[in-house]
């Protein structure tokens, strides 16, 4: 489904000071597959996830989604693809602060070509019920704990019925108990919805049995590239 071919990403921090975040990486993630990107901080995991999602343009190489080269699409086409086919969970608090919990969850549906409808609202409520926050619909993000916020983000990531869920260190700001709960939730969703799942983590303990583990170091894949 997602294919990265000889992808590199460099950042220019100053004159003659290029940082090679990802160097010549190839990786394929199949439909319904669950992949964990592991490695130490600064190994290039997040950059690789961003490259796979089309959130940043590679310096070299190709990224394809179902055979379509991402960077040959227009901004509107790329945005539509992210909106409809990819769900995101970030490591930082990513809810829009001026929207309520319910509005945050159905917000991605308002970005689609057809806008949102009663169906989206109902689904948002259903998803919030599924993550255990049915009683927090009218609350604002600042009124929730970090764990609750991350549950809302998970509900939001599923609102458009994506084919792949990408989670970047989703439990890094959470306590151990909440971390376990969130990871169990991801596992359940992956199983029940049949989503492809790309998890970025530096904690190997979070990798569930059955996940393909891809290890990165210094911007390169050191193991697990082949599916």
Give SS3 for 40: coil
How many Cβ atoms are within 10 Å of 133's Cβ, its own excluded? 22
Tokens of 39: 């490695």
* Residue 41 contacts other proteins per CB under 8 A: no
CB 189 within 8 A of CB 150: no
Nearest-approach distance from CB 127 to other proteins, in angstroms:
15
Burial 135-154, CB ≥16 within 10 A → b, else e: ebbeebbeebeebbbbbbbb
Residue 176 interacts with other proteins (CB under 8 A): yes or no: no
Q: Is 98 in the site for other proteins (CB under 8 A)?
A: yes
Least distance in Å: CB of 84 to other proteins?
Answer: 7
Give the Cβ contact number of residue 93 at 10 Å: 15
Kindly state whether residue 145 participates in binding other proteins, applying the rule CB under 8 A: no
64 vs 79, beta carbon nearer other proteins: 79
For the chain, how far is it from start to end, CA to CA, in angstroms?
12
Is 6 an interacting residue with respect to other proteins (CB under 8 A)?
Answer: no
Part in contact with other proteins (CB under 8 A); list of ranges 32-40, 72-80, 129-137, 179-187: 72-80
Instruction: Provide the minimum distance between the beta carbon of 180 and other proteins in the complex, in angstroms, as a whole number.
Output: 25
* 159 contacts: CB under 8 Å, gap ≥ 6: 87, 105, 106, 108, 109, 120, 123, 124, 127
Torsion-angle region of residue 6: left (phi > 0), alpha (psi -120 to 50) or beta? left
Determine which residue in the list 2, 44, 90, 163 makes contact with other proteins, applying CB under 8 A. Answer: 90
d(CA 51, CA 116): 28
14 binds other proteins (CB under 8 A): no
Does 73 engage in binding with other proteins (CB under 8 A)? no
Binding mask 107-136 for other proteins (x = CB under 8 A): xx-xxx---x--------------------
Residue from 34, 36, 43, 82 binding other proteins (CB under 8 A): 82
List residues binding other proteins (CB under 8 A). Answer: 47, 50, 53, 55-57, 75-76, 79-80, 82-84, 88, 90, 92, 94, 96-99, 103, 106-108, 110-112, 116, 156, 160
């Amino acid at each position: 489904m997602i294919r990265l071919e000889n992808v590199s990403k460099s950042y220019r921090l100053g004159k003659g000071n290029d940082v090679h975040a990802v160097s010549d990486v190839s990786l394929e993630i199949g439909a319904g597959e669950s992949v964990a990107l592991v490695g130490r901080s600064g190994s290039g995991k997040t950059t690789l996830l961003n490259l796979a999602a089309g959130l940043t343009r590679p310096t070299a190489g190709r990224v394809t989604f179902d055979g379509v080269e991402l960077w040959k699409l227009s901004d509107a086409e790329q945005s539509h693809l992210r909106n409809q086919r990819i769900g995101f969970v970030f490591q930082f608090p990513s809810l829009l602060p001026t929207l309520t919990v319910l509005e945050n969850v159905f917000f991605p549906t308002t970005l689609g070509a057809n806008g949102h409808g009663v169906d989206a609202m109902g689904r948002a409520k259903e998803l919030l019920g599924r993550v255990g926050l049915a009683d927090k619909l009218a609350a604002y993000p600042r009124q929730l704990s970090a764990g609750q916020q991350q549950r809302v983000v998970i509900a939001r990531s599923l609102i458009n019925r994506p084919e792949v869920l990408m989670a970047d260190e989703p439990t890094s700001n959470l306590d151990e108990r909440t971390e376990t709960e969130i990871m169990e939730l991801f596992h359940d969703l992956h199983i029940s919805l049949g989503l492809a799942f790309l998890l970025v983590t530096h904690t190997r303990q979070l990798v569930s049995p059955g996940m393909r583990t891809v290890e990165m170091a210094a911007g390169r894949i050191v193991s697990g590239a082949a599916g």
